[in-house]
Structure 1
Amino acid sequence: MTPFNPNLIATLPPPVMEARRWVEGTVFEADRPLINVSQAAPVDPPPDEMRQAMADAVLRQSEVHLYGPVLGLPALRSELAFNMTRHYGGAVGAENIAITSGCNQAFCAAIATLAAPGDEVILPTPWYFNHKMWLDMGGINAVALSTGPDLVPDADAADAMITSRTRAIVLVSPNNPTGVEYAPSVVAAFRDLARRRGIALIIDETYRDFHSRPGAPHEVFVDPDWHDTVIHLYSFSKSYRLTGHRVGAIATSPQRLAEVEKFLDTVTICPAQLGQYAALWGLRNLDNWLGVEREKILARAAAMRAGFAPLTDQGWQLMGCGAYFAYLQHPFDMPSDALARALVDQSAILALPGTMFTPSGDAAGATQMRVAFANIDETGIAEVQKRLAGFRP
């Protein structure tokens, strides 16, 4: 047989796809259908007005069907820079922005500019599994930074883990998988640490638009030299329901974008044009709509917190709750990967175990579960809580 890349072979299968295989061929009772809380992605299409704008672009703008600039549409880069400047304060220019084929690609591009095989990147745990997978594929060592019971990483603990091979620290806030939002002081501490130690701070804010606090989530961009240390990632997928169109973004220095351009040109040549036109239209027209969507998500998080008391009485713990996610600690004498399968069979709930977000053998991951509640309403959340309360191993 022809050879395989050993790094790819050693990389775990995509967790969401793995979880879907657990329900293949299973017939669920009509009065107890499967509740799928495994994937953090909108299931509804973009709003009608956006879809109409996309249809008009397909019919009337021939450039939608052609190659575009590798770093993205100039108008979208400018509009996102304006949006970020307005949202965060400080100064972000179009020359700091590249559009990518989803936020995962933005992360891959950032790492491609930073690290080579054998280098190290610090990932707080629980980590976002696609970040870990990309590092594994590239032969880059993911150094796990435990966040403890509050799920908030500590900059001093990270400082002790930095070696001559460390190239970056990654923060995700609001966090996937935990839902926890990092305070501005936490982000600033990691920025200061990264700058002092000469490494990059990658901040993934895919769920920025569902942050619970008003105003800017941090003050990183107020620093006029932010781009000497910070690499910022963003996604249009969750905000405008554009998951299938794969539109993300990276903000960094123009010098790093010159290297990003090499990566993007080799992988996709350019981001898909139609999704970019949709994102541009959304930035210009959907502020009020997005505000309503944010309130819906915040209401679901509030429902998760408000209805959790009966589970607490049974030994469950709500460790984190925000954006699309609730992160739970279960009370059972069984690892969370076994519990996840049992919940499918006995409770018709498809959720992801903490073992998918932590290093192999991690004791904390074995006690934890992620529930992605963004696609179920308050009634659905109450039903999930009822089924969890009724579960017996």
Structure 2
Amino acid sequence: MSESWLAKRTSHFDSSGIRKVFDLAAKMENPINLSIGQPDFPVPDAIKAAACEAINSDKNGYSLTQGVSPLREALQAKVDAQYGHDDRRVLVTSGTSGALVLTMMALVDPGDEVICFDPYFVMYPALVGMAGGKAVVLDTYPNFRIDVDKVAAAITPRTKLILLNSPANPTGVVATEQEVKALAELAAKHNIALLSDEIYRQFCYDGALPSPAVHNENTIVVDGFSKAYGVTGWRLGWVHGPAAVIDKLTMLQQYTFVCAPHPLQHAALAALDVDMSEQAAEYARRRDMIVDGLRDVGYEVNPTGGAFYVFPKVPTDETGQQFVRRAIENELLIIPGEIFSSRDTHFRISYAASLDTLERGLEVLQKLAKG
């Protein structure tokens, strides 16, 4: 049978549980959709105009694998100004997912261990497994804070990489300056790679994002344009880190993605001059609305400082899956926490939705909290 042809690495993943909810949403007539992890605001006109101009100017062939020079130079200048590292280089990738794939392929050998934190973005353990590594998942419940002592205790001779995501998906929690500094110093002490996924950098509501790259010059940072500018379908990301690592990622990109979408890279260059603070402020207001509305009816919600997610605890005796099933019966689409975690006690809400949708969602959640 054809199943016998499949490589063992394919056993490390199934269809994303998030994707299954998206598919369900497409079949519903009037869903209250709080499941989608992408901005709901329109792409700013200046960015769309730059994309159209690039296409009409016939910038439609391959670009340099490492990215078009104007964009790469602008990103390099930004990184140099922020960190001042002599050896830090930039690569434009096919989405942040592409950057994560390339990094795992470049760093993780079969049997290597990668430390990540539970709850986690769904892709992390799957990517580690596809590279032949072992995900060492550290529990952060109940407050979703990083315990660096717990990280230190998990390090073994096979530990190759520590994977940090802040602001975090699915919790919305932002790691503190003390947490990222301690993590950066721990990685440096043990000569372990540290990857910081900062795709939600522009959506920090209570101050600038602390990055471990400030404290460890060998930190690999993944960033992108998808979330910040509402262009998730464009597949534009970038990664910066030590030159030796970025050089190898560039070689790998030659043999995989080839390059990021060429005309859209020119639009990304225009995006760097677009102020998105108004959109970020709006999401901060929605964050407050959702968190306050949930707490008012008895939900346990940890403080959230970024991205556009909250990760409440189920307020009844049900599992997360059971609770989400009841929500779907009321046309409310949310994501069960077990998709992001070894536990099935929470659920994820995305507040990247209209105020009307959020209000309707809170009404259903109030009803569900009563059992």
Report the TM-score, using the length of structure 1 for normalisation.
0.88
Hey, what does 2:17 align to over in structure 1? Answer: 15
Using the alignment, how far apart are the partners of 2:311 and 2:359 within structure 1? Answer: 16
Checking the alignment, whether the CA contact within 8 Å between 2:22 and 2:36 is kept in structure 1 is: no
Tell me the amino acid that sits aligned with residue 111 of structure 2: G
Tell me the amino acid that sits aligned with residue 333 of structure 1: D
- Cα deviation for residue 222 of structure 1 reads 4.2
Change (3 A) 1:69 1:301: same
Tell me the amino acid that sits aligned with residue 138 of structure 2: L
Hey, what does 1:148 align to over in structure 2? Answer: 141
1:65-84 aligned at under 5 Å gives the runs 65-84=60-79
Using the alignment, how far apart are the partners of 2:200 and 2:12 within structure 1? Answer: 29
Q: Residues 227-278 of structure 1, C-alpha deviation per residue, up to 9 Å, x if partnerless? A: 33x1101010011111111110111111111210122111111111122111
Using the alignment, how far apart are the partners of 2:340 and 2:211 within structure 1? Answer: 28
Hey, what does 2:258 align to over in structure 1? Answer: 269
Gaps of 5+ in 2: none
Residue 232 (structure 1) aligned with residue 221 (structure 2): yes
Q: Name the SS for the 1:317 alignment partner.
A: coil
Checking the alignment, whether the CA contact within 8 Å between 2:196 and 2:222 is kept in structure 1 is: yes
Hey, what does 1:258 align to over in structure 2? Answer: 247
1:25-64 aligned at under 5 Å gives the runs 25-27=27-29, 33-60=30-57, 62=58, 64=59
Q: Name the SS for the 2:123 alignment partner.
A: helix
Hey, what does 1:332 align to over in structure 2? Answer: 316
Change (3 A) 1:94 1:101: farther
Hey, what does 1:117 align to over in structure 2? Answer: 110
Hey, what does 1:389 align to over in structure 2? Answer: 366
Q: Name the SS for the 1:329 alignment partner.
A: coil
Residue 300 (structure 1) aligned with residue 286 (structure 2): yes
1:283-362 aligned at under 5 Å gives the runs 283=272, 285-287=273-275, 290-312=276-298, 316-321=299-304, 322-345=306-329, 347-359=330-342
Using the alignment, how far apart are the partners of 1:94 and 1:194 within structure 2? Answer: 18
Q: Name the SS for the 1:98 alignment partner.
A: strand
> Would you identify which runs of 4 or more consecutive aligned residues in structure 1 move more than 6 Å?
none
- Cα deviation for residue 169 of structure 1 reads 0.8
Using the alignment, how far apart are the partners of 2:349 and 2:32 within structure 1? Answer: 11
- Cα deviation for residue 91 of structure 1 reads 1.6
Checking the alignment, whether the CA contact within 8 Å between 1:319 and 1:327 is kept in structure 2 is: yes
Change (3 A) 1:244 1:22: closer
- Cα deviation for residue 7 of structure 1 reads 2.3
Using the alignment, how far apart are the partners of 1:186 and 1:154 within structure 2? Answer: 8
Q: Residues 275-332 of structure 1, C-alpha deviation per residue, up to 9 Å, x if partnerless? A: 211111111x202xx11111111111111223233321xxx21124332101100122
Change (3 A) 1:275 1:169: same
Hey, what does 1:218 align to over in structure 2? Answer: 210
Tell me the amino acid that sits aligned with residue 69 of structure 1: L
Q: Name the SS for the 1:238 alignment partner.
A: helix
Using the alignment, how far apart are the partners of 1:5 and 1:227 within structure 2? Answer: 37
Checking the alignment, whether the CA contact within 8 Å between 1:343 and 1:349 is kept in structure 2 is: yes
% of aligned pairs identical? 26
Change (3 A) 1:385 1:107: same
Using the alignment, how far apart are the partners of 1:46 and 1:4 within structure 2? Answer: 40
Tell me the amino acid that sits aligned with residue 247 of structure 2: A
Using the alignment, how far apart are the partners of 2:211 and 2:124 within structure 1? Answer: 24
Q: Name the SS for the 2:62 alignment partner.
A: coil
Using the alignment, how far apart are the partners of 1:219 and 1:8 within structure 2? Answer: 33
Tell me the amino acid that sits aligned with residue 49 of structure 1: A
Hey, what does 2:158 align to over in structure 1? Answer: 165
Residue 183 (structure 1) aligned with residue 180 (structure 2): no
- Cα deviation for residue 52 of structure 1 reads 1.4
- Cα deviation for residue 193 of structure 1 reads 0.6
Hey, what does 2:236 align to over in structure 1? Answer: 247
Change (3 A) 1:240 1:191: same
Using the alignment, how far apart are the partners of 1:309 and 1:101 within structure 2? Answer: 39
User: Which of 375, 378, 382 in structure 1 is aligned with 2:353?
Assistant: 375
Using the alignment, how far apart are the partners of 2:11 and 2:254 within structure 1? Answer: 26
- Decide which moves more: 206-215 or 157-166: 206-215
Change (3 A) 1:94 1:76: farther
- Cα deviation for residue 24 of structure 1 reads 5.8
Change (3 A) 1:83 1:292: farther
Checking the alignment, whether the CA contact within 8 Å between 2:224 and 2:238 is kept in structure 1 is: yes
Checking the alignment, whether the CA contact within 8 Å between 2:290 and 2:358 is kept in structure 1 is: yes
Using the alignment, how far apart are the partners of 1:78 and 1:24 within structure 2? Answer: 41
Checking the alignment, whether the CA contact within 8 Å between 2:103 and 2:249 is kept in structure 1 is: yes
- Cα deviation for residue 158 of structure 1 reads 0.7
User: Which of 344, 352, 367 in structure 2 is aligned with 1:366?
Assistant: 344
Checking the alignment, whether the CA contact within 8 Å between 2:336 and 2:346 is kept in structure 1 is: yes
Checking the alignment, whether the CA contact within 8 Å between 1:121 and 1:141 is kept in structure 2 is: yes
Using the alignment, how far apart are the partners of 2:75 and 2:87 within structure 1? Answer: 8
- Cα deviation for residue 58 of structure 1 reads 1.2
Tell me the amino acid that sits aligned with residue 176 of structure 1: N
- Cα deviation for residue 130 of structure 1 reads 1.1
Checking the alignment, whether the CA contact within 8 Å between 1:233 and 1:251 is kept in structure 2 is: yes
- Cα deviation for residue 6 of structure 1 reads 2.3
Using the alignment, how far apart are the partners of 1:241 and 1:93 within structure 2? Answer: 32
Report the TM-score, using the length of structure 2 for normalisation.
0.93
